[in-house]
A and B are shown apart, each in its own frame.
Chain A
Amino acid sequence: MSKTMSKSHNVSEAESCIHGAANRSSRRSERRRADVEDPFGRALEYFSQVKAGTPVKGNDALENNLVLVERVALGRGLPPGAVATLLDFALSLRLGSSVCSRVLKFLIPASAVPQDSVVRGVSWFCMGKMPVSAQILFLRWILTMFDLIDSKDQLRSIYGFIFSFVTDEVLSPYVCHLLYLLTTKEHVQPFRVRKLLEVQAKMGRQPPLTQLLALYKVLCPEMIAISMPSKTRGGFKNHNLPWKTALAAVLKKNKTAEAPSPPLSLDIKEKASTRKRKLHHLEVPQLSCGPEIESSRGKAVHLQQLRSFAQLLQNLDNIELPAQMGSLLSSSLALHYLDCVHDESALLRLNFWLGSVLHEEFLFCSRDGNPENSTEPSQFLDICLSLPQECFSSSEFFLFKFLAMWDGSLHQPQILSLLSDIPPLPVSRMKMFLFEPLQQLYFTSSVFFKCGVIECLRSMLWKWLTWHFVQTSHKELDVSLSSSRTMNLHMSEFLELVTELVQYVGRLASAGLQLENYHILLHHQTLNFYELVCDVYLKFNLPLFLLPPSGVIFPSLLATDPVTVDRLGYVIFRYRQNLMSAKEHKQQKKEPSFHISRDVFREFNLLMVAVVSCLWISKDCQVDVGTDVHKALVPLRTMLSYCKNYNLIHHPAFLNYAIEFHQKCWPEQTNVDLSSIQGKKYWYWYLEFLFSQGFDGLKDFIQNNMDHQSTPVGGH
């Protein structure tokens, strides 16, 4: 707390020493101004020398100087020296608290805030003379400017002083936030933990306090025994409102004044230049930093300063994260860095930030907001989607809340993709928060939405299976990809969940197909899902055999579109391969844990019989739909006569192929008699003809299930 920079004539020197080469142009202009007896310099001199007790009312000199400095501050920002002078002037309360808050409100730094001045400000703060409103304003100012403070080591060394204010009920939220930004592992001490718990007991679970504790727990888990709610609603509020627009304008101006250096990070989002919304702060903060950092633990480096990958590798251990975690979202480099260093506290902070922003923006919209401007929120959701960390618990929490009041079209693509990122959770929770609301939306929405939902659930299942596969097959590897989405499910729970999901999709698909009059798109989406499900054993080593319900199989079997029948053939073929290899495996290994229910085989055989008798045998068709339909309800006699029309020749999906084949075989015959194909020789030619048309699924199905010598019964 030694150095002060209050003399106005050495402003430019002080600036250059802190500032280095970063802002040479402004330094040059500073010097030029000093040469011409600049009024700004004189104003600063006035503020540094003004005596306590000088009258405020009717003091023209003060008023003029204030107006002058304010204009400069809002125009192009204040140089570091001036910030120091003004901060000292304001917080010393030499001219009362109203002047203090007025100065604080326009204290916009052009580039950096010298740490010394902040430390000095904190010492004024600790003297206890400031009124509470000024104290709050000062804390909010620090929080807003935190990234611009040139280094934080001295601030960290007075951590204890700041911590002592945690007991103050009014200041506590701001103090907690500041501490949250400053805390490192060394700061977490038993006596501090005790204090925080005490405060929590007194004031209740306030979000800022809880989050500070959560950070402590992440840094030193052994010290905090109490369980933390993993999802805290709302995070730290953004305290930057009084300065936000002015600061953004100044930073932008200064940025364009400098020659822009090409950033290493891939910017996902260009900043919107015009912003009309007031309440919302959805924008991803820019990565900003003080110009240079010297810290006691060696040189810390801001992400923004890195220019090459080699530089990143060199400084991997010294990278200092910005105060606004949200700013990391705009840089994919930063996100990958986070992923690779496994920084729990950073992930936690990012999680909180994301949670509060999502919550404020999407669940607490103001009625009078500009509703037409919906590109920005969806851009933001796009950014959330592109996170390599996949699903933060806060975004999952947000999704469940949002889903409960979703109309099904707002940001539909983004929401559906985010939904597919949801990690496996216990079945009861999944049912309540995902399946139920989604089902209500599904059945009242258009067929395209239905397809979207099925696709989303397919991709969700695929992610779960992949995750499970990696986890089980590489036990020696540490595959806790990111701790924020650790799957705490036992194997049995996981199996139960997958079963539930597949059955859920089965219900959605069969009822949806019926409602949509067997829409072909929905058909294919459903079969797409089952193409994943049928291969679960062979591809993901999960002993789970879940057949599609009759409501999916039979409409596909009797579809008028040949590709649907072909895909069904492929699905059944893959089921067969999976069951066969599971059976072999069981006989070889004789593992007691490995158990396939007899019902699965029985069900599959019934399915096979039904499909084969329909496509192949045609006469002895015994469509046994299983136990789903009561025998008395199905007029078997009448059905038998229709069944004949669904063999590969008369099937509506293949009818045109049969006719084409017939014309090729008997070109001179004008009277098309399709039953003549059923002769042994022609039947196989016909099959070859069908296979040559690209029906590979059907080919696999027939070649693996049929004895090649058998002919369809009911031929000539």
Chain B
Amino acid sequence: MSTLKPFSKIPELNSANVLLVENEEQFQKKLADVIVNAEKDVSVGVRLARRLPLPVENEETRPCIDLVVFIINLSFERSFQSVELSLKYVDPGFFLGKVCFLVTGARCWSVSSDRLQSVRKLATSLRCPLLYAEDQTVEGVNTAAARLLRVLKVTAGLTPWATGLSLSTLTRCTLSSDLEGDFD
């Protein structure tokens, strides 16, 4: 039981590591495959976890994590709760630009808008970016992977002129009031 720390490991040259946390383990596998295959220039490592904290056994071999992605499937109530619990095991240093949320199933008719709103509230309060993804189509998975990779390369310091914190400031989620009530 230990918190995940951003600077506890020394980063390696030309490498970036992303940690995908998803309770349902449906989307992270697909995403990981695409991310690993898409990047050719630097070595990208993808670590998968159902929840935090990560087990202590692998502590030694685990590389320096550059980005933590929490995947929330809105179709499942449990998904959001699990992420909320996991967040406690993330070091505050990560929230300076190294955490982002990925939401799937937002357009699903069975999803109540309250659930989406609570995810938005969470991301806003933590000042993190909130990305939406279409997990059902190949194109949707590719897009999500490309976007994550883009963020990852920034947080890993592989993009000149940009840092994770600056990108996160530009893209962090903002809480808009409900469209329904406000629009009339």
A complexed with B:
yes
Q: Least Cβ distance of B152 to chain A in Å?
A: 11
Decide yes or no: A440 and B105 within 8 Å by CB, A514-B162, A515-B161 being known contacts: no
Task: Report the separation of the CA atoms of residues A437 and B173 in the bound assembly, to the nearest whole angstrom.
Answer: 8
Selected from A367, A374, A406, the residue in CB contact (under 8 A) with B108 is: A367
Selected from A362, A364, A429, A444, the residue in CB contact (under 8 A) with B131 is: A444
Q: Least Cβ distance of A512 to chain B in Å?
A: 9
Residue of A with least CB distance to B130: A440
Task: Report the separation of the CA atoms of residues A429 and B184 in the bound assembly, to the nearest whole angstrom.
Answer: 11
Which of B107, B136, B144, B159 is the most central at the interface, judged by chain A CB atoms within 10 Å of its CB? B107
Determine whether the beta carbon of B134 is less than 8 Å from that of A397: no
Q: Least Cβ distance of A165 to chain B in Å?
A: 29
Task: Report the separation of the CA atoms of residues A362 and B108 in the bound assembly, to the nearest whole angstrom.
Answer: 9
Chain A positions 317-367 with a Cβ under 8 Å from a chain B Cβ: 362-367
Determine whether the beta carbon of B131 is less than 8 Å from that of A407: yes
Decide yes or no: A517 and B160 within 8 Å by CB, A405-B116, A410-B134, A440-B171 being known contacts: yes
Task: Report the separation of the CA atoms of residues A233 and B180 in the bound assembly, to the nearest whole angstrom.
Answer: 8
Task: Report the separation of the CA atoms of residues A440 and B144 in the bound assembly, to the nearest whole angstrom.
Answer: 14
A467: B residues at CB distance < 8 A: none
Q: Least Cβ distance of B34 to chain A in Å?
A: 13
Task: Report the separation of the CA atoms of residues A231 and B181 in the bound assembly, to the nearest whole angstrom.
Answer: 10
Determine whether the beta carbon of A515 is less than 8 Å from that of B162: yes
Is A443's CB within 8 Å of the partner chain B? yes
Q: Least Cβ distance of B104 to chain A in Å?
A: 9
Residues 141-184 of chain B: 1 if any A CB is under 8 Å from the residue's CB, otherwise 0? 01110110011001000011110000100111110110110111
A445: B residues at CB distance < 8 A: 146-147, 150
Which size class do A's interface residues fall under? Answer: 35 or more
A439: B residues at CB distance < 8 A: 170-171
Residues 478-504 of chain A: 1 if any B CB is under 8 Å from the residue's CB, otherwise 0? 000000000000000000000000000
Q: Least Cβ distance of B165 to chain A in Å?
A: 13
B180: A residues at CB distance < 8 A: 233
Is B140's CB within 8 Å of the partner chain A? yes
Which of B103, B173, B184 is the most central at the interface, judged by chain A CB atoms within 10 Å of its CB? B184
Selected from B150, B159, B167, B179, the residue in CB contact (under 8 A) with A446 is: B150
Task: Report the separation of the CA atoms of residues A395 and B140 in the bound assembly, to the nearest whole angstrom.
Answer: 23
Selected from B147, B159, B179, the residue in CB contact (under 8 A) with A515 is: B159
Determine whether the beta carbon of B109 is less than 8 Å from that of A364: yes
Decide yes or no: A363 and B176 within 8 Å by CB, A439-B170, A443-B167 being known contacts: no
Determine whether the beta carbon of B129 is less than 8 Å from that of A436: no
Determine whether the beta carbon of A230 is less than 8 Å from that of B160: no
Determine whether the beta carbon of A444 is less than 8 Å from that of B140: no
Q: Least Cβ distance of B76 to chain A in Å?
A: 11
Task: Report the separation of the CA atoms of residues A443 and B151 in the bound assembly, to the nearest whole angstrom.
Answer: 9
Q: Least Cβ distance of B107 to chain A in Å?
A: 5
Selected from A230, A405, A446, the residue in CB contact (under 8 A) with B107 is: A405
Is A639's CB within 8 Å of the partner chain B? no
B105: A residues at CB distance < 8 A: 367
Decide yes or no: A444 and B116 within 8 Å by CB, A362-B107, A367-B136 being known contacts: no
Determine whether the beta carbon of B137 is less than 8 Å from that of A231: no
Which of A229, A372, A405, A432 is the most central at the interface, judged by chain B CB atoms within 10 Å of its CB? A405
B172: A residues at CB distance < 8 A: 440
Task: Report the separation of the CA atoms of residues A440 and B129 in the bound assembly, to the nearest whole angstrom.
Answer: 7
Residue of B with least CB distance to A366: B109
Determine whether the beta carbon of B159 is less than 8 Å from that of A436: no
Task: Report the separation of the CA atoms of residues A408 and B150 in the bound assembly, to the nearest whole angstrom.
Answer: 14
Determine whether the beta carbon of A367 is less than 8 Å from that of B179: no
Decide yes or no: A444 and B147 within 8 Å by CB, A363-B107, A366-B109, A515-B159 being known contacts: yes
Task: Report the separation of the CA atoms of residues A229 and B172 in the bound assembly, to the nearest whole angstrom.
Answer: 32
Is A400's CB within 8 Å of the partner chain B? yes
Selected from A231, A233, A362, A405, the residue in CB contact (under 8 A) with B132 is: A405
Task: Report the separation of the CA atoms of residues A615 and B49 in the bound assembly, to the nearest whole angstrom.
Answer: 56
Task: Report the separation of the CA atoms of residues A439 and B106 in the bound assembly, to the nearest whole angstrom.
Answer: 19
Determine whether the beta carbon of B107 is less than 8 Å from that of A436: no
Determine whether the beta carbon of A230 is less than 8 Å from that of B184: yes
Task: Report the separation of the CA atoms of residues A400 and B171 in the bound assembly, to the nearest whole angstrom.
Answer: 18
Which of B103, B151, B160, B171 is the most central at the interface, judged by chain A CB atoms within 10 Å of its CB? B171
Task: Report the separation of the CA atoms of residues A429 and B171 in the bound assembly, to the nearest whole angstrom.
Answer: 19
Task: Report the separation of the CA atoms of residues A433 and B182 in the bound assembly, to the nearest whole angstrom.
Answer: 10
Decide yes or no: A409 and B140 within 8 Å by CB, A364-B107, A443-B170, A515-B161 being known contacts: yes
Task: Report the separation of the CA atoms of residues A432 and B136 in the bound assembly, to the nearest whole angstrom.
Answer: 29
Determine whether the beta carbon of A407 is less than 8 Å from that of B143: yes
Which of A364, A367, A397 is the most central at the interface, judged by chain B CB atoms within 10 Å of its CB? A367
Q: Least Cβ distance of A18 to chain B in Å?
A: 42
Selected from A231, A366, A443, the residue in CB contact (under 8 A) with B183 is: A231
Is A511's CB within 8 Å of the partner chain B? yes
B182: A residues at CB distance < 8 A: 429, 432
A401: B residues at CB distance < 8 A: 179
B103: A residues at CB distance < 8 A: 405
B151: A residues at CB distance < 8 A: 444
Chain A positions 379-427 with a Cβ under 8 Å from a chain B Cβ: 397, 400-401, 404-410
Q: Least Cβ distance of A596 to chain B in Å?
A: 32
Q: Least Cβ distance of A371 to chain B in Å?
A: 4
A446: B residues at CB distance < 8 A: 146, 150
Q: Least Cβ distance of A672 to chain B in Å?
A: 32
Q: Least Cβ distance of A450 to chain B in Å?
A: 11
Chain A positions 508-547 with a Cβ under 8 Å from a chain B Cβ: 511, 514-515, 517
A365: B residues at CB distance < 8 A: 107-109
Chain A positions 199-235 with a Cβ under 8 Å from a chain B Cβ: 229-231, 233
Residue of A with least CB distance to B75: A367
Selected from A366, A367, A444, the residue in CB contact (under 8 A) with B129 is: A444
Q: Least Cβ distance of A304 to chain B in Å?
A: 34
Chain A positions 444-461 with a Cβ under 8 Å from a chain B Cβ: 444-446
A400: B residues at CB distance < 8 A: 179, 183
Determine whether the beta carbon of B179 is less than 8 Å from that of A443: no
Is B59's CB within 8 Å of the partner chain A? no
B143: A residues at CB distance < 8 A: 407-409
Task: Report the separation of the CA atoms of residues A366 and B147 in the bound assembly, to the nearest whole angstrom.
Answer: 25
Q: Least Cβ distance of B163 to chain A in Å?
A: 11
B183: A residues at CB distance < 8 A: 231, 397, 400, 429
Residue of A with least CB distance to B162: A515
Is B58's CB within 8 Å of the partner chain A? no
A233: B residues at CB distance < 8 A: 180
Task: Report the separation of the CA atoms of residues A341 and B151 in the bound assembly, to the nearest whole angstrom.
Answer: 52
Selected from A362, A363, A432, A514, the residue in CB contact (under 8 A) with B177 is: A432
Task: Report the separation of the CA atoms of residues A407 and B140 in the bound assembly, to the nearest whole angstrom.
Answer: 8
Is B139's CB within 8 Å of the partner chain A? yes
A517: B residues at CB distance < 8 A: 159-161
A409: B residues at CB distance < 8 A: 134, 139-140, 142-143
Q: Least Cβ distance of A213 to chain B in Å?
A: 14
Residue of A with least CB distance to B173: A440
Task: Report the separation of the CA atoms of residues A443 and B150 in the bound assembly, to the nearest whole angstrom.
Answer: 9
Determine whether the beta carbon of B179 is less than 8 Å from that of A397: yes
Nearest 5 CB-CB pairings of A with B = A364-B109, A371-B136, A409-B143, A405-B106, A229-B184
Subset of 18 A-B contacts with CB under 8 Å: A233-B180, A364-B108, A365-B108, A367-B105, A367-B136, A374-B139, A400-B179, A405-B106, A408-B143, A409-B140, A410-B140, A432-B182, A439-B171, A440-B172, A443-B167, A444-B150, A444-B171, A514-B161
| 15 more CB-based (< 8 A) A-B contacts, given A365-B108, A365-B109, A400-B183 | A233-B180, A364-B107, A366-B109, A397-B179, A405-B103, A405-B106, A407-B131, A407-B134, A409-B140, A410-B140, A436-B174, A440-B129, A440-B172, A443-B170, A444-B151
